[in-house]
Amino acid sequence: DAKTTQPTSMDCAEGRAANLPCNHSTISGNEYVYWYRQIHSQGPQYIIHGLKNNETNEMASLIITEDRKSSTLILPHATLRDTAVYYCIVRGTSGSRLTFGEGTQLTVNP
């Protein structure tokens, strides 16, 4: 599975959009981009995933560049409860591993 690079930490004001970037320049054609988050002392929570089209669900939007070498997770109206570590993971459709990188600590400030 391709390696990902994320900023170590980010801050966002409550009510504003949080845009979390992820670089995955070695992604291959059949690999999906997944986003999970982990609120302190809880298990990771699935947010969204995509292959090449932009995706949106009730939690977030995922924007994947045309060359698929990077993506951005967008939380449209961040709340204090969105403070968490956000993990960007690239994974193929076969195999069983979900491998976490270091992730981005997002802090939403009042």
Partner 1 sequence: DTEVTQTPKHLVMGMTNKKSLKCEQHMGHRAMYWYKQKAKKPPELMFVYSYEKLSINESVPSRFSPECPNSSLLNLHLHALQPEDSALYLCASRGFRGSMVYGYTFGSGTRLTVV
Closer residue to partner 1 in complex, CB, 81/97 = 97
Least Å distance, CB 59 to partner 1, is 12
Residue 80: what are its φ and ψ, rounded to 5°? -60, -30
Q: Which of 4, 93, 84 is nearest to 44 (CA)?
A: 84
Place of tokens 């949106």: 56
Per-residue tokens: 25: 């320049």
Cβ neighbours for 96, distance < 8 A, ≥ 6 positions apart = none
Alpha-carbon distance of 74 to 2, in angstroms, equals: 22
Closer residue to partner 1 in complex, CB, 29/43 = 43
- Assess 9 for contact with partner 1 (CB under 8 A): no
Can you tell me which of 18, 36, 78, 106 binds partner 1, judged by CB under 8 A?
36
Q: Which stretch binds partner 1 (CB under 8 A): 13-21, 22-30, 65-73, 98-106?
A: 98-106
End-to-end CA distance of the chain: 37
- Assess 40 for contact with partner 1 (CB under 8 A): no
Least Å distance, CB 81 to partner 1, is 16
Summarize as ranges the residues that interact with partner 1 (CB under 8 A): 34, 36, 38, 41-46, 49, 85, 87, 96-103
